[in-house]
């Protein structure tokens, strides 16, 4: 059974395998746990038999106007079952009182976010690949 939680107390690095598919230099499970702990908001989809995380979304915020969603990911074997949609909806509920909820995504994911009333803007990003850890 999949449960949705916003609490990391039961999550260990070993529960965070399989993410960052396609990344050349993916963060370790330990770093992913650190990323989630340091985030202002997080929602996890967890297999309640194993405790393994099968999807997550995180957000960073100034706690007044803006929130930013850096990452949303569902394990490849569990994609296309509505888990990503559920994670976004649960996060948007947490962020509903902010003026702005922003994210960047690849073009092929735009139609996914349009379901939640996100719209396309132009953006600028800077990436220091040497700092991937």
Ligand X SMILES: CC(C)(COP(=O)(O)OP(=O)(O)OC[C@H]1O[C@@H](n2cnc3c(N)ncnc32)[C@H](O)[C@@H]1OP(=O)(O)O)[C@@H](O)C(=O)NCCC(=O)NCCS
Q: 32: which residues sit within 8 A by CB, 6+ positions away? A: 13, 16, 19, 20
Q: Which stretch binds ligand X (CB under 6 A): 9-17, 24-32, 60-68, 72-80?
A: 72-80
Using CB under 6 A as the binding rule, whether residue 17 contacts ligand X is answered as: no
d(C-alpha 25, C-alpha 31), whole Å: 12
d(C-alpha 41, C-alpha 14), whole Å: 21
Using CB under 6 A as the binding rule, whether residue 131 contacts ligand X is answered as: no
Quick one: which of 42, 53, 59, 72 contacts ligand X (CB under 6 A)? 72
> In 26-133, which residue ranges form alpha helices assigned H by DSSP?
29-38, 83-94, 110-114
The residue among 64 and 127 lying less far from ligand X, judged by its C-beta, is 127
| Cα-Cα end-to-end distance for the chain | 32
Site string for ligand X, 95-114 (x = CB under 6 A): --------x-x--xx-xx--
Using CB under 6 A as the binding rule, whether residue 66 contacts ligand X is answered as: no
Q: Which residues bind ligand X (CB under 6 A)?
A: 72-74, 79-85, 103, 105, 108-109, 111-112
């Amino acid at each position: 059974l999949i449960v949705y939680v916003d609490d990391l107390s039961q999550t260990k690095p070993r529960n965070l395998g399989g993410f960052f598919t396609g990344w050349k230099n993916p963060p370790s499970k330990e770093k992913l746990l650190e990323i989630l702990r340091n985030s202002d908001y997080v929602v996890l989809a967890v297999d309640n038999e194993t405790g393994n995380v099968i999807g997550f979304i995180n957000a960073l915020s100034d706690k007044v106007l803006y929130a930013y969603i850096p990452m949303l990911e569902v394990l490849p074997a569990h994609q296309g079952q509505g888990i990503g949609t559920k994670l976004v909806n649960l996060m948007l509920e947490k962020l509903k009182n902010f003026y702005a909820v922003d994210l960047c995504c690849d073009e092929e994911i735009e139609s996914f976010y349009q379901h939640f009333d996100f719209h396309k803007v132009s953006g600028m990003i800077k990436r220091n690949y040497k700092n991937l850890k």
